[in-house]
Amino acid sequence: MNQPLAMRQPCPPGTCDCGREALLEDPAGDQRILRLTRHEERRLLERLENLDSLEQLEHLQRRMFEQLGIHLTVVPGHNEVRSMRGLAIEMAAQPGLCRKTRQALPSAIRRGLEKCPEIAYRLLDAHDLLRDA
């Protein structure tokens, strides 16, 4: 028999602005994000913190979009990039995405890039910022 898909538990009332209830009521809404349970979120954050290569980061970005609808971009910031804080990690607004998750994903990516700075160098090189170095 088919198991029903696990759905994320609702946030405590008044603590989050994710719009989970409105998303559940809308039959045409993209409910893929509700599949991200707290356990799966912890696994995703762990994978983002333990990145090995730029290709792995790009793969995770594609999979997050395909499976959850999360559109996440990691690009060099508009100003000079001197640390991992100079990278712009942006997430598109998405109903159903918990406030804590919106903060945790970029933080996990930054921690992963700090552990392996070669990924950040490859990212900068991919955007042609190290051509004169």
Give residue 1's pLDDT. Answer: 47
- Asked whether 48 and 109 are in contact (CB, 8 A), the reply is yes
pLDDT at 130 over 60: no
What are the E-state strand segments in the chain?
72-76, 87-91
Say which residue, 15 or 80, is predicted with more confidence.
Answer: 15
Provide the b/e sequence for 71-88 (b: ≥16 CB within 10 Å). ebebebeeeebeebeebe
pLDDT at 122 over 80: yes
Using one digit for the tens of pLDDT, what is the confidence trace for 61-117?
999 999 999 999 988 776 665 556 678 888 888 888 888 888 999 999 999 999 998
